[in-house]
Amino acid sequence: MSHDKFLRLNRIINGDPNAEPPIDPIVPVCRATFYAGIKKGIYPAPIKLSPRVSVWRASEIYALVNDKQSNLEK
């Protein structure tokens, strides 16, 4: 059984500017761009907890960021 954390979309694309210190977005794109990226296979698909609640595995989001970062360094 995995003990992965889950992230809501708002935390992924907006961070938390009201936190002390402020938390930067993980993937700084708009909601429409993120969902278009899911359809294209760029971003991982959400896990539906209920009809109105979707979450993403933190490990998949951070793996995506690390992969994009390592591609930029090449």
Question: Cα angle vertex 73, ends 70, 74, to 5°?
Answer: 95
What is the mean pLDDT of the segment spanning 47-54? 96
Task: Give domain status of residue 29, yes or no.
Answer: yes
Please tell me which residue, 6 or 74, carries the higher pLDDT value.
6
State the average pLDDT over residues 20-43. Answer: 96
Number of domains in the chain: 1
Is 54:47 a contact under the CB 8 Å cutoff?
A: yes
Q: Edge-to-edge, what's the strand order for the sheet holding 47-50? A: 6-7, 53-57, 47-50
Across the chain, what does the average pLDDT equal?
A: 92
Task: Assess if residue 1 is contained within a domain.
Answer: no
Q: Is residue 11 part of a domain?
A: yes
CA-to-CA separations, 52 to 27, 66, 68, in angstroms, rounded: 21, 29, 29
Count of CB atoms within 10 A of residue 27's CB?
Answer: 19
Instruction: State the DSSP code for 46.
Output: P
Which range marks the domain in which residue 26 is found?
6-73
